Structure 1
Amino acid sequence: MEQGAGTGAATGRAQRGRPRAYDLDQVLRASVQVFCERGLHGTSIMDLAGATGLTTGSLYKAFADKDAMYRASLEWQSSQREAELRERMDTGTTGLDKLRAVLEFIADLSSGLAGHEGCLVVETTVGIGAREAGIGEVATRVLERRRAMLVELIELGRADGSVRTDVDSGAVAATLLCLTQGMRVVGKTGPAPEAMASVVSVALTLLT
């Protein structure tokens, strides 16, 4: 069984004890939906038990507490999204093609039903911030990886001629990161795909 990333406590305990009678990916997928809908502080362990189909006792055996389950859910969703994003990026050949793929991927996640589901990175930065240091640090690391990826793609585009050579890679990467995070926030209202596609078109003008 393939396991999601960032599930340290759960994975370690399962290896030391009896085999799990549940699919960890399914548990984390269900918990992501609950946390995205209700937030960390609006979610109870009973909510998570109902969504995952596990007893509260099983949840506490797998995760130290609700905060640990939130961190595992945040890391799992981020890992899944990054893997999907890499697949989309691989369809492009130039730096600009790959950047377009990134923005179109975020646009898809920020419209319709996918937009309503939401993003735990956004939930963490907006709803939790520095109040829960351990959780906030996970979101910060995810955002830094995404910023670094954008810088890398812009530099690739400058080198292959698909992006203007006078573009400031760091500044534009930071701008695109803010833009994509904002798209995820607006996505909670379920905008039409066409609305988000127009945002992508405007964003690409920063690069060409």
Structure 2
Amino acid sequence: MDEVLDRAMQVFRERGYDGASVDALQEATGLTAGSVYKAFGSKREFFIAAYDRYVSERRKLVAMRLAQAVTGRERIAATLYAYLESASGEDGRRGCLVVASLVEASTLEASLRASVAATLADNRAGLTDMLQEGQLDGSVRADLPVEPCVDLLLALLQGLRATGKLRDPADPDGLVALALKILD
């Protein structure tokens, strides 16, 4: 099942929900239309399963990076590097399923849009925690306005994933160093 979801995930990442036809999903997964509907009930349910797996796998990758970080600032840097890595090479060209879904948010049905909004809210909460942790441990300026900084970092992370569809980031270390300057 995970292999089928991984293959479907690639189709949704590259084409988005609306652009992913059942024919494309069949071709990618090797399932017949009947098998797709038998296993998942609908394209919508197939998408939800692939989306949930995608988010879970991405969170594991970021968590591995964060395990090495000690301060809030280091955790933010580790998050930036994780996103830069995902925005590079073949993985970057496939795109981000969250970003693809954000782009389509106005056309998605309410429950799918809510799922994407929940993912973004979780990411935002994680960044808020890292910034506040950094303020407490002294690695982030204590008087830094957290809310606008979180919004800026979130936009940067999603933007990296979006532009990764066309090109690799030019200077990852320079980008991280520049982004961290806003914490000073």
TM-score, normalised via structure 1 length: 0.84
Shift of 1:199: 2.5
Unaligned 5+ residue runs, structure 1?
1-23
Q: CA RMSD in A?
A: 1.4
| Distance (Å, rounded) in 2 between the aligned partners of 1:41 and 1:25 | 22
% of aligned pairs identical? 36
Question: Which structure shows the higher helix fraction?
Answer: 2
Matches within 5 A, 1:139-154: 139-154=116-131
Task: Describe the SS at the equivalent of 1:188.
Answer: coil
Q: Which amino acid aligns with 2:29?
A: T
- Counterpart in 1 of 2:179? 203
Aligned residue pairs total 184
- Match of residue 106, structure 2, among 126, 129, 133: 129
- Counterpart in 2 of 1:110? 87
Cα distance change of structure 1 residues 123 and 78 upon mapping to structure 2, 3 Å threshold: same
Matches within 5 A, 1:33-52: 33-52=10-29
Task: Describe the SS at the equivalent of 1:85.
Answer: helix
Q: Which amino acid aligns with 1:199?
A: L
Shift of 1:130: 4.8
Task: Describe the SS at the equivalent of 1:41.
Answer: helix
| Distance (Å, rounded) in 2 between the aligned partners of 1:144 and 1:43 | 25
| Distance (Å, rounded) in 2 between the aligned partners of 1:179 and 1:81 | 17
Shift of 1:84: 1.2
| Distance (Å, rounded) in 2 between the aligned partners of 1:74 and 1:98 | 25
Task: Describe the SS at the equivalent of 2:183.
Answer: coil
| Distance (Å, rounded) in 1 between the aligned partners of 2:90 and 2:173 | 16
TM-score, normalised via structure 2 length: 0.94
Unaligned 5+ residue runs, structure 2?
none
